[in-house]
Amino acid sequence: MNHMQTTRLGFCLFLGSLGLIALSTAIAAEFKHTQAYEVRYEHGECTLPSSPALVLGTIAAIALLLAQLSANAMGGCVCCCTRNVNKVPSRNISIATLCLFMSWITFGFSFFLLVAGSSMNQRQPYKNQWIDDECYVVKPGVFATAASLSLVTVMLNIIFYLAITTKKVEDLPVLSYPVSNGHANVDGNHVISVSANPVGDETKEVPTRKEG
């Protein structure tokens, strides 16, 4: 495994780890968010206690943000960065562009749900309600939806990164002897080169200097 393959594998594992963090914490927030029965009323006003979903949702949002920005930074923007585009197969560019576009859409929805859901799980004292002097709680399924979208976002980021960092076959290094129209063999202290020509095959024996 060469250096490039090791780098790609390591970065994909990094993205996968961030995705796993976002997924697990978002699912945990789904079970830990403030419930409707926890709302307290006094003199017509309501209050909400703090919930672990505030921290869990924030961690999920940060992990998802890091994954999105890291993938874009490492892969580069396909639409704007043209320095290495000629080295990437055209089919891969199309796949990478589609994945990049879709990842920003799923990221936007997931990040919004995580941030909004987390903020609604902080402690709300009396006379400090959200909207219209009312207390609101997160509906069931909000964090679960964010978790699913986070997983999709990270998968799209991985596909985008792999597609945009795959070089064309002719750009890959090949270990061979440089000959024009034939092949080369090494035999002892001589290099025997065989080249083809329109008249016939010609074999040349080129002496080499013997050391010692």
211 and 141 share one domain: no
SS3 153: helix
184 and 148 share one domain: no
Banded pLDDT at 108 (limits 50, 70, 90): very high
For residue 54, give the nearest of 154, 127, 152, 143 by alpha carbon: 143
Determine the residue type at 212: G
For residue 163, give the nearest of 8, 15, 2, 6 by alpha carbon: 8
83 and 120 share one domain: yes
Residues 6+ apart with CB under 8 A from 157: 15, 67, 68, 71, 99, 103
pLDDT of residue 98: 93
Average pLDDT taken over every residue of the chain: 76
84 and 42 share one domain: yes
- 111-153 per-position pLDDT tens digit: 999 999 888 877 766 555 555 556 677 888 999 999 999 999 9
What domain count does the chain have? 2
Residue 212 sits in which domain range? 176-212
135 and 207 share one domain: no
Tell me how far apart the alpha carbons of residues 43 and 1 are, in angstroms, rounded to a whole number.
Answer: 69
144 and 160 share one domain: yes
146 and 189 share one domain: no
82 and 34 share one domain: yes
Query: Residue 194 is encoded by which pair of tokens?
Result: 């065989």
87 and 106 share one domain: yes
pLDDT of residue 177: 46
- 181-207 per-position pLDDT tens digit: 555 455 555 444 444 454 555 445 555
- 13-38 per-position pLDDT tens digit: 999 999 999 999 999 999 988 776 66
195 and 155 share one domain: no
Mean pLDDT of 64-73: 94
166 and 185 share one domain: no
- 157-177 per-position pLDDT tens digit: 999 999 888 775 444 454 444
58 and 150 share one domain: yes
Mean pLDDT of 47-73: 90
